[in-house]
Structure formats: C-alpha cells, structure tokens
Amino acid sequence: MTLAFPGLTHLPLVPILMFGIALLLVGVVVFQNWRLIRMTHRSGYRRTWLSDAYPWRRWQEPSPWMRALRVSLFISWATAMISMCTVGGIETVALRQPKIADALFVHPHGIKGGIRFFTDRQEEIYAVAKPLMIGSWAVTFAFGVVLLRLEENWRRRKLQDLLDHVATEV
C-alpha cells in the first residue's frame, strides 16, 4: 500500500523536481543572508560600501507608483518562471512521446531538433504557456528597465537632498 495524495500521482516529475530544487536554493540563500546579517549585527562591525552613500530604502519611502512597479515586476517575473517551468516540463515529457502521430498523440511540435507529438491536453496547456512565457519575459524586461531608471533618479535626488542638507548645516 502506498501513500499518495489524490491527484498528485499524475503530475510530471521534472517540474516538481525543478520547483523543489529552486525552493531549496532560495531557502539556503535566505538562511545564509540572515546568518551573515545576524553575525555582523552582533559583532558591531560596519563595513563601508559604495551603496552606503545612499540611505537605506524602506518599503514606505518610495512613491506608490514605484512600489506598484516593483510588485508588477515581481508578478511578471513569477509568471515568466511558472510558464517557463510548464513549457519545460511539457517539452521534457514530449521527448519520451512518439515521433509518429497516432490516435492519442496528434499535435506536432518541433522539440530538440525533432518532431514530437502532443496529446490534446498538452496542446491546450502548451498553447497558453508558450506565448505567456515569451510575453511575460518581455514585460519583465520592460518593467526592469523602467524601474532601474526610476530608482537611479530617485537615488540621485535623495543623495542631492542629503548633500544640500549637509551643506546648509555647516
């Protein structure tokens, strides 16, 4: 007798493994950053970095438009990653599917330099996930360029305000 969650036995193995590995790597990075911050905070050691010239930006400090742009960038990036994992999973499964059409596999696609056939369900998911992946990567790139430009202008303005404030105190 095996223990299996209902409906989870038919999920493709590759996307589940990719998601698990990505989650593990993110967990390791978060833990190591937390440990490093805790160690430097306890020791009282403060390094001087080039980025220390700018005051630390809290979430509330930027304008609501910049916060909305950050959230939109994160959502478009997450959409791109999810659709990329879906497309990758379908294409990986398709490598073990027939190269000749039959009753179940009727939709041809070029996969890894050869023609593979998808089922109706794979075709439905792939027809949505592939354009969504390409479009969301384009939107993520556009949001990233705009956000980097706005944040650089914001940093310059904050630094100039700080320098003006220091110059007027002396």
Q: What is the pLDDT of residue 105?
A: 86
For residues 128-133, give the mean pLDDT: 91
Q: What is the pLDDT of residue 139?
A: 94
- 153 or 138, higher pLDDT: 138
Task: Specify if 57 maps to a domain.
Answer: no
Task: Specify if 61 maps to a domain.
Answer: no
* Counted domains in the chain: 1
Q: What is the pLDDT of residue 10?
A: 61
pLDDT band for 163, please (50, 70, 90 cuts). confident
Task: Specify if 165 maps to a domain.
Answer: no
Task: Specify if 97 maps to a domain.
Answer: no
Task: Specify if 149 maps to a domain.
Answer: no
Residue 24: give the domain boundaries: 12-44
Report the relative pairing of strands 114-118 and 107-111 from DSSP bridges.
antiparallel
For residues 100-114, give the mean pLDDT: 85
pLDDT at 53 over 90: no
For residues 16-36, give the mean pLDDT: 82
